[in-house]
Amino acid sequence: MEEIIQKQKAVALKYNKGIDKAPRVTAKGKGHIAKKIIDLAKANDIPIKEDPDLVSVLSELELQDEIPPELYMVVAELLAFVYRMNQKKDDINVS
């Protein structure tokens, strides 16, 4: 288990519609920091998408950096995933 945690990476993004031009990196880390980011997301019902290649690219950015234009399409797909997850959660809560 410890070996898995050491290899783990995580990046958190935030987007404020009408304020930000693009999503920003709000947290990033590897090992135990990555585990804390993931645990916080789970505790707050924030959808998690595993994409090691995207995490590798995003982890090169500095905190509060906006994602570069060449990642817009990939992150748009990620945001669509989050939207779908939120819709499913809302559908379950309504039932």
Q: Where are the domains of the chain?
A: 2-94
Token output for 55: 């995490």
Region 13-19: mean pLDDT is 91
Angle value at C-alpha 92, between 90 and 95, nearest 5 degrees: 110
Which residues have a Cβ under 8 Å from the Cβ of 56 and sit 6 or more positions away? 9
Distances (CA, A) of 88 to 48, 82, 83: 14, 10, 9
Which pLDDT value is given to residue 60?
95
Question: What tens digit of pLDDT does each residue of 30-80 get?
Answer: 999 999 999 999 999 888 888 899 999 999 999 999 999 999 998 888 888
Q: pLDDT tens digits, residue range 17-29?
A: 899 999 999 999 9
What's residue 6's pLDDT? Answer: 64
Average pLDDT over residues 1-14: 77
Q: Is 47 exposed, middle or buried (0-12, 13-18, 19+ CB in 10 A)?
A: middle
Q: Which CATH architecture has domain 2-94?
A: 3-Layer(aba) Sandwich (3.40)
